[in-house]
Each structure stands twice: as C-alpha cells, then as structure tokens.
Structure 1
Amino acid sequence: MMTKPIAFTGSRLDRADNLRADPEAIAGMMNWRARLLKLDGLMPEIGDAGELVWGTLADAAEDAELVFLGLDDGKPCFAAVPAQGDASPRMANPNLWAIMATLSADDLAIYGGARSITDWHARHRFCSACGSDTSIAKGGWQRNCGSCQTQHFPRTDPVTIMLVEHDAKLLLGRGLGWPERAYSALAGFVEPGESIEEAVAREVLEETGVVAGNVEYIASQPWPFPSQLMMGCYSTAEAPEITLDTTELADARWFTREEVRAAMNGDAGAPINTPPRQAIAHHLLNWWLNKDPQ
C-alpha cells in the first residue's frame, strides 16, 4: 500500500454529477459566484505563491465553451476549452515539470483533471461517426452531435506500468531518446480484449523478452498528458535473460535493491537516475524498496 499521495489524485472538488445532467442547474451556477480556472491554452497561470490562479466567468472569451469542474465548498468551478488541444509528447514543454514541482498536491489534482477534460474537448469538436460539429453537453462531460445524435464521452486510456522482479533484482528500462542514465518501470497501453494481468505480461515480453507472471495490482494514477490511467503493478520473472526490442527501448537492465535505493536517495555514485516524485513509477520504486524481499 502506498503511504504518500500520488500526484494528480485527491482533488477537493465535488464533481456533483447530479448537477451535470441538468442544463438549468448548470446555467444557474454561471453567475458572479462562479470561479474560472485561469489557463493559457492548457498551461495554468501560477500565482506569486506558486498556486493556481482563479478568476470569474467574465475572464472567459465570449464564445468559450465552459466545463463544469465541480463545487469547491459550494462554489461552482469552471474551465474554458482552449482553441487547440495538445498532440505533442507530454514532456515536449519543459515548463510542465517546473509547474508540477511548484503546485501543491491539491492544486495539481485540480489542474490535472481540468487539463484532461479541456484537452479532450479541444480535440473532439467533430463527430467520429459522421464528421459533423459537436456541441458541449452535461456540463462539459459529454459532447453531442446535432446531425446523427451520437453522444461522445471523455476518453481515458488505460496503461499498465509494472515492476518486474527476479532473484531480488528489478528490471528497469530506458526509453528511446531518454537521457543516458534515466531508467524507469516498463509501461504500455492495455489493448482491446486484454486484462491488466495480460497486458503486463505481453508488454514485458514484447519489450524485453522476459516472461513475467504472478501480477499484483499496487496503485493507480491519472496522468493528464493527455488523459491516461496508469495502473501500477508488480510481477515476477521466470528467468533473467533479456532480448531487447530496440524499437521500444534504448536499454533494459536488472538492478539490485542497493542500486535502486542509492538512485532514489540521489546518491552521486548511483548507476541510474530514477523518475521524479510526480510519477507513479517513483512511488512504485519506493514501495518495492520497503516491501519484504522475496
């Protein structure tokens, strides 16, 4: 079990789903009491104390689509859909890491949810069934096609991210284009018709040739770049031999508990650099270091 909150979880907002389906209730909340999360595109405005900045609905563009984020101590909170979504890799903008390090856990959770939903709206303005324009519905948690009447719902992509252990060592990989010493847990999207356990085994086998089993679920994290659910797992390997898929990874190696601990402690002599604390991989590595050795 995780002992520390995972980034992007724990939002204080009441999602108030019972109000989303009531257009009159949504319209009635769009008044002077409502708060608007101030975004520059998909990037948040940051206050002097490193916090999210809130304005009023008067700060939104006249033709902006507004998404109801929820209630904050009874006050309705909204975010405006930007003109464009973000199709670039999640870390193409280096300011993202700086922002994630600045925001409190609570603010980070609110921003993550707002970013995911507004980005989805910006990239789904047309119906996938007939190509016609869609319009915002259910307070921003749905889009409807006025032509063929198809209803569209926000997308969340499931991803397994897994630790693989063999003989008290952990299998970690370095992605293509990553810095030379940057290693993390293996990860991959769950495909249609797959269970979490099957996705873990398939991804590990495809990327490293290692046969993994005995999959256990550990924890999850919503990851808003653009909108993924990272499902953290632990598994054990039948044998340590690695056959690397160089189209997926630059490297994969086994690391001892001492090497992982040194890396997590930031020791200069550690053989690798581990993921930042905002990533679930960081929490999974801490979990492994504190679990009873196999």
Structure 2
Amino acid sequence: MIVSTDGPLVGRVAIVTGAGRGVGRSEALALAAAGAKVVVNDVGVDSDGVGSTHGPADEVVDTIRRTGGEAVASYESVADWAGAGRVVDTAVDQFGRLDIVVNNAGIVRQQMIEDITEEDFDATIAVNLKGTFAICRHAIPVLRRSGYGRIINTTSNQWAAPLGNAHYAASKGGVTSLTYDLAWELQHDKITVNAIAPFAATRMTQDASERDAALIQQGVMSAKRAKAKEARTDPELTTPIVLYLASEAASEVTGCVFRTGGGKVGLYTHPVETRTIFRDENTGPWPYDDLVDLLPRSVLSAGSKAPHIQ
C-alpha cells in the first residue's frame, strides 16, 4: 500500500466500520491509499458477534500510518446508539470534518429458521441494520452542514438470493431499503447514498462450501445454483467500486446497489411491479374466485417461483 499525495480523496475524512478484517480492512486501506484520513472502527468481535479485541483496528491503523497515511482507531460498537455517535465524533474531533461513511460492520450466524433464537435475531439486526442506521443518523447532520457527503452501505446478495440465515437476509434487506430511502431524502443535499453487495473470501464465507453441501442435501438449494455461485476471492478486489463511489467522479450516482468482487462490478435493478391486473375499485374488492381464475393466467403467468429459488 502506498498513500497517494494527489489521489482522488486527498483532504477527505472517512469512517469505515468493521474495518479490522476482511472487506472493511481492504476498504480502509484503499481509502487511505487514495489520500483520505480514516477512522478505523472495529469492536473486534468474531464473525458471529462474540468477543472483543482492539487488535484488528490497531493493526489497520498501524499499516496506514507506516505508509504515510493518517488514521485513528475506534472500538465502539455501532449497535450501541450512543457508541455510533461517538464514532462520528471521533472523525470530527480528530480530523475536523467528515466526508465519507462506509458502513461495513456486520455479523452472520449460519442458521436455518428453526435454529434462530430471539438472541440470534436481536444480535444480527442490532449490528447489521441498527448499526448502519445509527451511523447514518449521527453522520448525516454533519455531512449536511458541510454540504457534501458519500454514504456507502453494505448489503448482501442474500437480499435478493436467499441462502438460509433468515435473520441475516432480513437485516440486509433492511439495509437495501434504507439505502433507497436515504438517497431520496438527501438528493438535494449533495450527499449520495449507495450500497454494495460484496463477495470475497472472509471469515463469514470460509465454510461456504460445507454449508452449500448441507443445503443441497436438505433439498433447499439445487446443485445447479450452488455451481453458479461466484468464486470467493481476495477482499481487495471488492474495493474499487467503493473508491469510485466515495469520489467526486460519482457525484451523480445515488440510490444504487452494486454487486462487487473478483473482477466483477454489477448493478441491481430497483424492485418494480412487473405484472398487474385492475378492477374498478367502485365495485368493491376482488372476489376470491376471480383471483383464483385470473392470477395464474396473468400476474403469475411466468410461474410463482422467483428465478433464484429454482
């Protein structure tokens, strides 16, 4: 890593949550290499949200500083509302401003619905969804005051392509919806809001092949779908789109969700209605028998299963 003195983010200040390992670490290093000063936030938990250590955040900060960049560590949990506020305060207190927010912090617990406890659900939603929301909530007033901002959230392809882990999928679906809403709310404030759905070889995916095999055995996933999944590669390959979205070059890009990893950058479409039937509302609600007759021949004519379930 070499810190640029004339990179596209020179003079900018960034927060990266979950920046101690994996994708977040690569994002923090890439932003610093492009000239940004970085708040490296990581509570140091395991991939399932258990434990705590300062080591991962400190190592990333040391790496940035050794190569001539500027960075400080933050050990706050984004799942704590006040803690999320302190992450934002760290950027302003240490560097005088805030320009870029990368919400990467997340946990996953590999479970099917029958195995998910209330504690599993609460922990997953707290970090993945509440944590993203809380950082945005505290950062947006700061970004609005400066009249500039880049927010990059982290969702997952499980928002669109289920793989079990219903609590994880629900949390990432929430992040996607939050991204769309904030892009709309902030469209006149020179603040863009986008999301990425990364795929990389990290702690969260290290048992992916074993999990796929179990899902195939259970009859939940087809072997064809498992074979079609993207190969997990170096997390560093997920970062170019983040660098782009954080820069001036993406000033007109907002409300987008990108799939990124390996050599791929893809763009998801926004969910839209694809088929519709109408009835004169003055005649009352649809009769049940009419829906039984019409829906299979119209709205459901292409089949009731979404392609990713096949």
**TM-score category, normalised to shorter length:** under 0.3
Give the TM-score normalised by structure 1: 0.25
TM-score between both structures, scaled by the size of structure 2? 0.24
Higher normalized contact order (CA 8 Å, seq sep 6+, divided by chain length): 1
